[in-house]
Each structure stands twice: as C-alpha cells, then as structure tokens.
Structure 1
Amino acid sequence: MADVVAQEITAAGFGYFVYSSWAPPKSEAFSGHYIDDQNIVFGPEGFAEASACTEFDPRENEDGCYFLCRKMGGVFRIGSDFHGLMPIFIYQRRGLWAVSNSVTLLADHLLANGIRLSRNSDVLEDFDQKLYRSPQTFQTPFNEIRLTPSGSFIDIDSENIRIERPVVVQVSYKQHFEAGMSKWVSMLAALMRDETRHVVFDCTGGVDSRATVAFASHIYNSCVAEGMRLPQLFVGSGPNTQPGADLDRDIATEVSEMTGFDLQYRLQKPENAMDWKSIWQEYQLRCLGYYSLVLPRFSEMDPGELRITGLAGGFARPQNRNRNALLIARYLVGKRNIFQKFPKFLKLAREMKQLGKRFQSNRNDLLFYNEFRGRAHAGNPSQTGYRLAPLGGKDFVLAALAHDYEAVKDRQILYDMINNLAPELLKIRFDKPAKSFGPQHAERFTPVSMKIRPMRVYGKPIPTHDMKAKAEGIKFWEEVKRVFEASEVKPTEVPGKTGFVTEGLSQGIVGHSARTKQAHYVLLEEWLRKRSL
C-alpha cells in the first residue's frame, strides 16, 4: 500500500482518521456505532442525522464501537467507546503529537512529516514466538507509538494536547445490573420493531449466546401484541451434518423449538464483493501491528442483516484465577526463566497496576483481559460488520466488578440475565455439564425490574455477512501467500494446521491456522522495514 498521508481516509466504507501537530482537527468526525441511554447511531450518516437533533449529545465512554472527534468550545476532544474496541494510538515527543485509530495510518503520517520510528523488539518477539492475536501491553511494534488505555480521551487546542482517563463511578451490583438490563432490552426492542432491519441472534450451546436469545424471547413476548416480526436465530453448523454430530446445532434446535423462533444456518449474502486491493488496504489499516488474526471483510457495507452475538461475554467474568497483578504478569511472560525476562516482567506489572485506577478495583485478572485480549478480539468483528454484543455492555462490566468474585467467576451475571428475561431457557441443556444452572445460581439470583422505553435510531447498520470464497477474497489470500513465500523473514514454527485459506471462506472464520498467524508476522516485518529504523 502506498504511504497514506491524508488526514482522513475511508477503507471499504470504514473511516480511519489521523490528527497531528501538522494536521489538527478542523471539524467533527465519527465512525462506527454508538449506543447511549436514548440513542442508537450507525455510521457517519446516522451521526449527522442525530447531530441535527437538539437532544443528541454524543460522548466518549458509551457502549458500541466508535471513534469520535467533537468540538467543545475552542477544544476538540477525541475519544472512543467504553471498552476502547475502536483503538486510539498516540505519538507524543518533543512538543509534537499525532493521534489515529490506525497504527499504519499514524506511522505513514509521521514518516511523511519527517519522523523516523524505531522497532519495539519485545512486541515483535510476542508476535513471533507466541503468535499472540492481540496486544498484551499498551506498547506497539514502534517504540514511539502507544495504544491509549480504554476510557481515555484526548483534548486538543491550538497549543496543547492533554490525555485524561476519568475514574468510573461505581455503585452496587444490582444498580449496575438493572441499568444494563433496561438499556439493552430497550435498545434491542427498538431495532426489532423496525421492519427494515433483519435482526438475527446467535445461538449455540453456550451460556453467552443463551443470554442473548433470552433478550430476544423477553422482548418478543412483551411486544408481540404490536405485531413484532418473529426473531431469527443463527447457528453456524449446517443442517446437513449427521444428526447428533454437532452439539451446538442440536441445542440450538431445542432452543428454536421452545421459543418458536426460526433457526437459520446461513447468513444473508452480501450483494457486492470488495475488490482484493481494498481488502488488502483495510487489513493493513486495521490489523497490522495490533491484531494478528487475519479477518478481513469481503463485502461492501450495505444495509442488511444486523447480528446480535454473545461476543464479549468474557468482559464480565474472570479469565485467570490469579487476581494479583504480579502473578498474572509472571504467568504471561512464562513461569520458566522468569529472571531472564525480568525487565519485561516489571513492565507488565507496572501497566497492570494502572488498570485498576479507572475503576478503583483490584480485579486485575478481569481488567487485564478486558483491556487487551477482549478489547482487540471483540473490536475486530465489530469493525468487520456491525455485530452488537449486549453482554459487553458497560453496565454489566461495572456490575461484575461490584459483585462477589466467586459469583462472577461462576457466570452468575449471565444466569441472572436469563432468569430475569426468560427463565424457561435454563431448562435446556448447555454444551458442557459444568455450565448447567445450579442451586448456587438460584440462591444468588438478583431479580430486577425492566421497562422497555423508547429509543431513537439513526442511520443504517452494516450487515454481518457470509464470507464465501468469492474471487476477490481468493485474490487477497493469494497476495498474502505471495508476500509470505517471497519474504526472507521466517517466524518461529508452531504446531498446528498449515496451509493458506484460499477456498471455502465461510462464516468469517479464516486465519485461525498456525500458517496464517505466521503470515501476519511476516507481513508485519515487511511492513516495519518500510517504516522503522
């Protein structure tokens, strides 16, 4: 890709921005989807429509996945969503600064203005040896560029740039949980009432997806008198597999039969395929140097199917038993040869201690996952198509931080959702016996009141799409393979499947093999050669 020096570019319909000492913001900008207590906004067109209303006051740290640059008097404020699913990267040296939601765009902009960048060996080592799919620190492959912590916003005036990360006010588990339930039943009801939108709920054998289906069931049963269209469920396993061979499909069928909702096995196909050069450009803008899983988008952004997923369920439950920041840092760098990696160990420990300051919490296991792995993993599909993830709502994360640790680890918040919305769904089995609703969950149950209130919806959602092996998608993978095989860079070999995915790109699950992760590392090295010392 040629060096990108423009202040704003659109790749495959998605906005990427860069502002700097050389190109400060001159107008407001928005990209992504935004959700607050009264509004749902899709894309820049929806943002423009909402901005024309006097009631709309967009802010940072709301639900969704978005980049926001807004004017406040003589100051421009740049921020993003509550989780930082839309990442913001920053360069700040010797009175000069630059900000972007793409490492590639930011690096190219700095190079175009005479700033040379140096390689960060620690981050590159992680991409090579461990083949991480997401960052583990706020560092990037460039020493001079950092990922801003979630919840941060940047104020820019004619002379200064200031970074702030306000403390989140916390109350009780029940208050946060009740606020989240009311907000998401209202938001999803507004979308389900709109006959122009095709709303589909993911359904598997897990607890996360069962909770999203519970939202659909409660809303439909509450609004059926209005003539609401019957919701649809989606399971990725097709109907032609041998009966009983796919547990997700079998359980989804049971859920479909109980709720009366239609079950589909294929998502709506996109009308227009992107050309492979646009896919290649977007991959570099969005993934390189930040997220090593290769999940490009193969369709144009057309109004269509809106997918409600159980993605981000991990935001509200611990991912590691060790709550102490030092122990988790030790775990991450490897328990062996700990003293050889002591400098890196200390860096991780220091960064992890910063995480709790935003929430005044010591739940470092939960906060670490949310800040790095969860943030990148949930943010990527949110940018490849508008998938809404109720379980990652900010109120539910705050509820998890306020609740008993053992209860949260035992998925209590998810069972509370289902029990409040559609308790009959707890009678259907889950994919693992350990996930079953038990006496301890019933004993801890927190009932809340929910009222579906009016919500304003602006703009059209970007559809999630069926990534079939279209000719342009195959060309993209052929380009990845060509660069990989021509490069002299050889990543560390790891066990697992090999070979490139050039056919059968289905349901967006591409790039999981060891070889495609290695390809990302090689592409990253080739990318860095042009941009660093």
Structure 2
Amino acid sequence: MAVVLPGSVIASSDSKLPEAEFSGYAMIGADIVLGPEGQQAYGTVPAGADGAYTSVERTTTTAVVGTDHAGFARLFLYRSGDRWALGTSLLELAEYARSAGWPLTADHDQVISFLLINPVGNQLTSDRTAFHEIRLVPAGARVEISGGRRRRASVVPPAPLPAWSSYGGLLREGLWEIASRARTLLHSGLPLVATANGGRDFRVVLAALLAGNDTDKSLGELVRLRADDKNAEHWGTVSQLATDYSLELNRRGSVSRAHLEPRAGYALWRRNDLGVYGPIYPYRTDAPEVLLSGSGGEPHRRVYKSPSMAAVLEQARTEDVPSTTLTTLTAAMNSALGTVSRGQDERMVHFREFRERFHGGRTALRQPVFAPLAVGSLRRASALRDPSGELGTQISVDVIRNLAPELLEVPLQPGSKPFPKRQVSAATTVSPKQVVTGRVFGSLSVPKQQAERSSNAIEPFAAAFEEAVERVAGSGLLPSGVLDGARRTVTIAVERGSFEHAADGQVVGAVILAGEVLRLS
C-alpha cells in the first residue's frame, strides 16, 4: 500500500482554513490507523505519534497541521512577504507558487549540495531547499494557521520533554507500545513481512514479536520472513534462529504485488524525493503488506564521528562543490541546528533531522512500517540517557533484555558486532505493563493501475534527464563534467533497467532538480 499524502498544498494565505484531515498511517498506543477511512473510525489523530502521516486539526478559528514525530511525512512552508503556502511536496509547492505568480528564486548552492558525497550529502543538509522562499518544517513541529481576514501561519516547535521524565519510565512505555503493537498486528489478519537475519537489529523485531504473540500459531505462520540463503555463513545463523523460534523462512506470500506503471512510479519519486533525497530508488511495485523492520537503530547512536557537523560537511565535499558553496551550506546548517538542537549534541540532532528523516523514512512513505527502534518513546528515552550516542546499542540491549532476554545469548551472524558485555551486564530492567491487543482502523489497499512486469522503470528518469539537460547545459549551474557523468550513468541504467546502486542515481537526480529549478524560477 503506497502511503498517500495530500497533494500539492494543504493551505495558503489565499485559501480558506483547511478542514480536518488525515493522510498516511499512524500507530497510537496499541492501535493502528490506516488512511482517512481508518481515521474516521478512530477519531482525531494528533500530531507527534508514530507512523508516517499528516494531520489537520480544526477549531472554529484555527487549524493545526502536523506530522508523525519523526517527520517521515514532511511539511514545506513557502513564505514571501505576506504570502505563504504549506505543502507536503517540495516540487508541487514550488509549482503552486509559480502558478499563483508568486516570487520563486533559485538557491543554486542547495542544488549543488547534491554533489556532496558520504551519507550526509544524500539529502538536505539544512531546512533550506533549492528555492529561497521554501523551507523544510522541523521534524515534530506543527504549523498553526489563524483564521480571520489575514490568515497567518506560524511554526510551533515540538514540546520539550517534561522535567519529570525518566529513562526507565520512557523505556517502560516504549516496551509496552512495541509489544502491544506487535500483538495487534499478529491478531489483525493483515499480511506481515520481515527480513530475517542473524544481526542485532532483527533481534529487536523478534523480541517484540515473541513478547506480543499470544496466539496458538508460530511466528512463521503469522509473518512472511525473507532471508538470504546465498550466504552460507549468515544462513547458518538465521536458520538456527528459525529452528529455535519456529520461523518458517522464505515461504511464498499470499499477497500479489502490483507493478506500477513507470510514469506513475516516476511521479511518486518526483513528488516525495526530488530535491530532498538524492539516491534513486524507483517506485516499482506496491503490495498491501505491513513491513516489520529493524531500521531505526542508527539515530540512537552517534554515526557522525567527526568533532563537528562542519567537519562532517567538509569531508563530504568534492571538487565539483565550490568552497563558497560549502561555506553557505555550513552557515545554513548551523542556523538550522541552532533552531532545533536545544543544547543536544549537534551530530545526533542533525542525523535525526535529516539523514534518518529522509533515508530512514524513505520506506515509511512507500508502505506501512512497524519499526520498534523508531518509536518516539524509545527515541526520547535514548536522548535522555545517552544524548551524545556514546552507549550505541544500549537501547537495543535494554529492549531485548526486557522482552526476550534469551536472544542476548544466541550468537550473532559472522561479521556482526556482538552486544558489548558491559551493556548486557548494565541493562536496565523495568516492571512490565500488561501487553494488550489493540485495534486496526482502516484497511490496506492495492493500486488499480498496474504495469507489465517487463516495464523499464528507468525510462521516465532518462526522459526527464534529457529535458533537464537542455536547460542546465548553458546555465553554468552544474559543471559540464557532472552532466557528462550523469548521462553515462542514466544510459547504463536504462540498459540494465536499474541503477547498479541507488547512490549512482544521485547525480542524475541533481541534473533533473537543476532543470526543474531553472524552469520554475
């Protein structure tokens, strides 16, 4: 089920106050809300819960627009004088401004930022975008819109943790949430799929499932578990897990995947990724399944090891990124961090605000994802106990210790870092809350439009590249060497039917973005 978010613009200074609305999916307590139909049955879905969604809450004179706590569903705010507009897609918001005759100015430095390398350069590095007038709304923030003759929009930051919050209390809440949501899903009849392996993050998923399963069925009957059987060493570890915990690996699923028509897939990529996330993962298929994922672990630990974010950005520079551009990008990044860091380690904050939001959230915008390590209560617990990320996997150890402690004793696959003994011995245990079975509101849907399996998903990217390169070639916005390299990359990708690596497509996306910016500004 593709996650359907509202198109183009939610509200603007020229429009009426938006009506109450919900798009996407949310996980609240033990319950799961799927789409507008689910929201109508559930009731109001407030901003700041888990999932990937936008919500509009209304009073007589105001509207509050928010998203899930991680900002996997994004909000972009256009401002120019008294004019403003709020949308969920950078390119669609820019097109709205252009069609309204509003000012729209290219920010060439932000376009060039997609020529940076390393993970920090795969997505936006600050709240600035390729258009000076459009900014990314911080994760977890809400936009309050006042009524009256002159409607105004103001960004309200997420509330800080209450002073009485404790690591143990937040951990206890998070454990209850993930075990109860696992139970809800196991009882729901929804198709569930997970990738099983012998690594650390899957142990967290398995712990939640073991704690949640009160049925008379094995997990292998309830969850379709995919595993790589071509790596003999890794297969040995995961197959032993399968034997010990009744995990039936690589059984055929009962759900058929719908193949998206390439142009429809390109439109989704353009809407969600262009100008905000560089690596190209084409939208190829859609399936009504919930993904149980071990993702979400990286924001709990410090991934960026350099002493400052300025140093991280400097290390990502290539010869195609002028020093003046890097200076501008660094200043914009520092300004954005000053708004959201609240005294926390800037490397941890930047990773959560940008890398995790766009890279980690990419899958969350393509299908419903249940990722125990990504729930807000556990994120807040980590930030409280380990704000600099020094303890690394401590949160994973604590989750497993409380939900399925025997998993800490099962050997990990070769090459996987073991759980540190000092963390295992220092694990925090809490008195558990009773696991409950929640409800699923709404249903999963399959797209009606389907394509032939043999359709080439890269062809629309190649067509968009050719259209863009005509504008970009004489503009000086991108070096000619970048255009030549991008052409070679997209030509090979068309022949293969895919990019060899998603990151290879970033330079192609940069050219397409440059073409769109030149067209619209």
Counterpart-to-counterpart distance in 1, 2:239 and 2:205: 16
Please give the residue correspondences for 1:315-330 in structure 2 after superposition, counting only pairs within 5 Å: 315-322=299-306, 327-330=308-311
Q: Which residue number corresponds to residue 128 of structure 2?
A: 139
Q: Which residue number corresponds to residue 439 of structure 2?
A: 456
Counterpart-to-counterpart distance in 1, 2:146 and 2:197: 49
Amino acid at match of 2:84: W
- Comparing 69-78 and 173-182, the one that deviates more: 69-78
Counterpart-to-counterpart distance in 2, 1:202 and 1:228: 13
Q: Alignment partner for residue 180 of structure 1, among 160, 174, 181?
A: 174
Distance 1:145 1:259, change over 3 A: same
Counterpart-to-counterpart distance in 2, 1:450 and 1:433: 35
Counterpart-to-counterpart distance in 2, 1:260 and 1:38: 25
Structure 2 gap ranges (5+): 474-479
Q: Alignment partner for residue 517 of structure 1, among 506, 510, 513?
A: 506
Counterpart-to-counterpart distance in 1, 2:253 and 2:509: 28
Q: Given that residues 192 and 229 in structure 1 are in contact (C-alpha distance below 8 angstroms), is that contact kept between their aligned partners in structure 2?
A: no
Q: Deviations over 1:361-410 (max 9, x none)?
A: 42222211000010001221111111221211111111111114677533
Q: Given that residues 235 and 264 in structure 1 are in contact (C-alpha distance below 8 angstroms), is that contact kept between their aligned partners in structure 2?
A: yes
Q: Given that residues 58 and 64 in structure 2 are in contact (C-alpha distance below 8 angstroms), is that contact kept between their aligned partners in structure 1?
A: yes
Q: Given that residues 270 and 299 in structure 1 are in contact (C-alpha distance below 8 angstroms), is that contact kept between their aligned partners in structure 2?
A: no
Q: Which residue number corresponds to residue 51 of structure 2?
A: 64
Distance 1:287 1:24, change over 3 A: farther
Displacement after TM superposition at 1:450 (Å):
3.6
What RMSD, in angstroms, separates the aligned Cα atoms of the two structures?
3.1
Q: Normalising by the residue count of structure 2, what TM-score does the alignment of the two structures yield?
A: 0.86
Q: Is 1:32 the counterpart of 2:32 in the alignment?
A: no
Displacement after TM superposition at 1:129 (Å):
4.2
Q: Alignment partner for residue 394 of structure 1, among 365, 370, 376?
A: 376
Counterpart-to-counterpart distance in 2, 1:469 and 1:412: 46
Distance 1:130 1:438, change over 3 A: closer
Q: Alignment partner for residue 124 of structure 1, among 84, 100, 111?
A: 111
Q: Deviations over 1:448-495 (max 9, x none)?
A: 21421242320124689xx998234x1x3122124435625456359x
Displacement after TM superposition at 1:295 (Å):
2.2
Q: Which residue number corresponds to residue 183 of structure 2?
A: 189
Q: Is 1:214 the counterpart of 2:210 in the alignment?
A: no
Q: Given that residues 200 and 416 in structure 2 are in contact (C-alpha distance below 8 angstroms), is that contact kept between their aligned partners in structure 1?
A: no
Distance 1:288 1:405, change over 3 A: closer
Q: Is 1:201 the counterpart of 2:194 in the alignment?
A: yes
SS at 1:66 equivalent: strand
Counterpart-to-counterpart distance in 2, 1:87 and 1:152: 10
Please give the residue correspondences for 1:346-357 in structure 2 after superposition, counting only pairs within 5 Å: 346-357=331-342
Q: Given that residues 337 and 350 in structure 2 are in contact (C-alpha distance below 8 angstroms), is that contact kept between their aligned partners in structure 1?
A: yes
Pairs aligned (count): 493
Counterpart-to-counterpart distance in 2, 1:83 and 1:13: 17
SS at 2:144 equivalent: strand
SS at 2:92 equivalent: helix
Q: Given that residues 33 and 66 in structure 1 are in contact (C-alpha distance below 8 angstroms), is that contact kept between their aligned partners in structure 2?
A: yes
- Comparing 405-414 and 515-524, the one that deviates more: 405-414
Counterpart-to-counterpart distance in 2, 1:349 and 1:455: 42
Q: Is 1:310 the counterpart of 2:291 in the alignment?
A: no
Counterpart-to-counterpart distance in 1, 2:503 and 2:387: 35
Please give the residue correspondences for 1:199-348 in structure 2 after superposition, counting only pairs within 5 Å: 199-220=192-213, 223-225=214-216, 230-232=221-223, 234-237=225-228, 239=229, 241=230, 243-244=232-233, 247=234, 249-264=235-250, 270-300=256-286, 304-322=288-306, 327-334=308-315, 341-348=326-333
Distance 1:250 1:485, change over 3 A: farther
SS at 2:57 equivalent: strand
Q: Which residue number corresponds to residue 369 of structure 1?
A: 351
Counterpart-to-counterpart distance in 2, 1:424 and 1:389: 21
Q: Given that residues 231 and 262 in structure 1 are in contact (C-alpha distance below 8 angstroms), is that contact kept between their aligned partners in structure 2?
A: no
Q: Normalising by the residue count of structure 1, what TM-score does the alignment of the two structures yield?
A: 0.84
Distance 1:78 1:399, change over 3 A: same
Amino acid at match of 1:312: G
Distance 1:233 1:403, change over 3 A: farther
Counterpart-to-counterpart distance in 2, 1:407 and 1:189: 30
Please give the residue correspondences for 1:67-106 in structure 2 after superposition, counting only pairs within 5 Å: 67-106=54-93
Displacement after TM superposition at 1:151 (Å):
1.5
Displacement after TM superposition at 1:440 (Å):
0.1
Q: Given that residues 233 and 256 in structure 1 are in contact (C-alpha distance below 8 angstroms), is that contact kept between their aligned partners in structure 2?
A: no
Distance 1:491 1:181, change over 3 A: farther
Amino acid at match of 2:336: E
Structure 1 gap ranges (5+): 1-9, 52-56
Q: Given that residues 216 and 231 in structure 1 are in contact (C-alpha distance below 8 angstroms), is that contact kept between their aligned partners in structure 2?
A: no
Q: Deviations over 1:333-353 (max 9, x none)?
A: 339999864444333223223
Q: Deviations over 1:216-250 (max 9, x none)?
A: 12222xx135898843353352x4x3634xx2x33
Q: Deviations over 1:239-279 (max 9, x none)?
A: 4x3634xx2x3332222111112112776664533222221
Distance 1:91 1:513, change over 3 A: closer
Displacement after TM superposition at 1:23 (Å):
2.6
Distance 1:513 1:265, change over 3 A: farther
